[in-house]
Chain A
Amino acid sequence: EAQVTQNPRYLITVTGKKLTVTCSQNMNHEYMSWYRQDPGLGLRQIYYSMNVEVTDKGDVPEGYKVSRKEKRNFPLILESPSPNQTSLYFCASSTGLMHGTGELFFGEGSRLTVL
């Protein structure tokens, strides 16, 4: 089954404790992206990757890091989480071909709470 898998789905942590949210896709997609969703603010892009070893900032990259060492994986790293990073996070991927980068497949989301 074609899917984007995120882990963990739920996490409560404390300020400053480094954490990683993993994302893996099994569709051989070139393009991957991270979004955060907050009430009243919609979906905001954090980082995206057009292919292996190619990453770029989205609209709200501060406080986050990403890496793309393999095509299927795109982890989101919070080096020193703060309460304003409490949010619902989504990983998404697409083929990256002619029209494909808009046709995103989303994971089920990771709800993060930073105390």
Chain B
Amino acid sequence: GQQLNQSPQSMFIQEGEDVSMNCTSSSIFNTWLWYKQEPGEGPVLLIALYKAGELTSNGRLTAQFGITRKDSFLNISASIPSDVGIYFCAAGANAGNNRKLIWGLGTSLAVNP
């Protein structure tokens, strides 16, 4: 099936550093979402984006819906140990009916205290 190109695949950073990850696609999407999965748990929604160019923050997290509608990025500022986990991007093609999301393979983040 179709997948998003998510990079980097993994990151190992020092506490306090900023983090940036992105997702790209050759297709246009109307919704971009970012999820975080901690060990032993299901993914949890971090940020949802519905408009091209939209920039949305959730605490230290900031995500943007690319103007071309083919990409999105997620930034984490001043990382802390509890940021550890796998971050997934997902995108939906049909506004109002995102029954089948397309998923990236995830970015695994490790934070050294």
Contact = CB atoms under 8 A, between A and B. Distances in A.
Interface in A22-62: 31, 40-45, 48, 50, 56, 58-60
B79 interface: no
Nearest to B9: A40
A31 B100 CA distance: 11
A92 interface: yes
B88 interface: yes
Contact of A106 (B33, B42, B96): B42
A72 B110 CA distance: 36
B50 A99 contact: yes
Interface string B1-18: 101000000000000000
Contacts of A75: none
Interface residues of A, number: 27
Nearest to A45: B100
A8 interface: no
A43 B97 contact: no
Nearest to A48: B99
Interface in B46-98: 48, 50, 88, 90, 92, 96-98
Given A42-B3, A42-B88, A99-B31, A108 B98 contact: no
Contact of B33 (A50, A56, A103, A109): A103
Interface in B23-38: 31, 33, 35
